[in-house]
Amino acid sequence: MNRTFVIGTRASRLALRQVELVSDALRASAPGVPLEVREVHTEGDRSGGPLRTIGGLGVFTKAIEGALAAGEVDIAVHSLKDLPTELAGGLTIGAVPPREDVRDALITRDGRPLGALRSGARIGTGAPRRAVQLLRMRADVEPAEIRGNVETRIHKVEEGAYDGAVLAMAGLARLGMVGKAAQVFSIEEMLPAVGQGAIAVEVRAGDSEALALVRTIEDAAARAAVEAERAFLRRLGGGCRLPIGAYACIENGALRLRGMIAADDVHPEGGGAFHGERRGHIGDADALGTQLADDLLAQGAATFVDAL
């Protein structure tokens, strides 16, 4: 192909690093393919307010999807956890490359883990999911709203605005900052966000050349996992307004999906939170996610989902 493919992305250092990873993979699978990167500024980048008040899921992707739909870019690279479960018309996730570490990590000023922090410690996080699960581990800490890119959040901790902050290990790994983690939470301690650690490579559904190109970097296991997680979130419909976490992986040839949902005012001792698990065939990812969501709704989660 002589065509130059334009890749749309946010302008943050992490977003550009993800584009670099995708571009390297594309050039390895299709040597000589002409690629061009175009930065797109999103609503999430322009606003400093909490995500729940400025639009939730989609604030970091809508402008890029608009450029993709308009033909201004040919390929969009997103952190998959930022992408709404319902895509804009005419667009499709062409590939999900191999997934990075899905876990969450705690950054602290002096390297102390969560258990060693003072009572009342302020822990920066903009995610209700992280706040609820932090309080289940330490009911006496204070989850506090924090915004900004990875480097900004770490700086806010280091300058003393917060005692710590919870960040995705994937971002730290891609930026070469794993050493900043004072503690890495296990999946059992803190279920990740839907799609955390995964990259979505989005294209126009009718662009056969772009589809053929990006499919060369597809990872089948990562695709099945995020499809199950996204089906779970789609069925619950909570977006970033409710604490929702999910993680799917391949174990012994089967797809294992774990999920949780909680009310915003969940008690640290566990009231108002629902957890579940399903296993199934890798080809039934979408159905598996829907079934697990239905399990939690039947347990009682429907009460606060319906109240949204």
The Cα–Cα gap between 202 and 175 comes to 22
Calpha distance 195→153 (Å, rounded): 21
What is the token pair recorded at 81? 């956890």
Angle of helix 285-296 relative to helix 220-236, nearest 10 degrees, comes to: 30
pTM of the model: 0.92
* pLDDT value of residue 129: 94
Compute φ and ψ for 114, nearest 5 degrees: -55, -45
Structure tokens belonging to residue 198? 């995964």
pLDDT reported for residue 228: 98
Write the pLDDT tens digit of every residue in 50-59. Answer: 555 545 567 8
- All CATH 3.30.160.40 domain ranges in the chain, comma separated: 231-305
Q: Which CATH architecture has domain 104-184?
A: 3-Layer(aba) Sandwich (3.40)
The conformational region for residue 205 under phi > 0 = left, psi -120 to 50 = alpha, else beta, is alpha
Residue with tokens 């995500």: 51
CATH topology of domain 5-97+198-218: D-Maltodextrin-Binding Protein; domain 2 (3.40.190)
Contact indicator for 163, 60 with CB cutoff of 8 Å: no
CATH class of 231-305: alpha beta
Give the span between the Cα atoms of 32 and 10, in whole angstroms.
24
What 3-state class would DSSP assign to 34?
A: coil
What is the model's pLDDT at position 54? 46
Q: CATH 3.40.190.10 occupies which residues in the chain?
A: 5-97+198-218, 104-184
The residues that are catalytic are 82
Burial of 95 (0-12, 13-18, 19+ CB in 10 A): buried
Query: Tokens in use for 167?
Result: 């960040």
Calculate the CA dihedral of residues 37, 40, 41, 44 and round it to 10 degrees: -100
* Gap between the Cα atoms of 109 and 154, Å rounded: 9
Query: Taking the CB of residue 3, how many other CB atoms lie within 10 A of it?
Result: 11
The answer to whether the CB of 41 falls within 8 A of the CB of 11 is: yes
Low-confidence residues of the chain: pLDDT under 70: 1, 43-57, 238-240, 264-271, 308
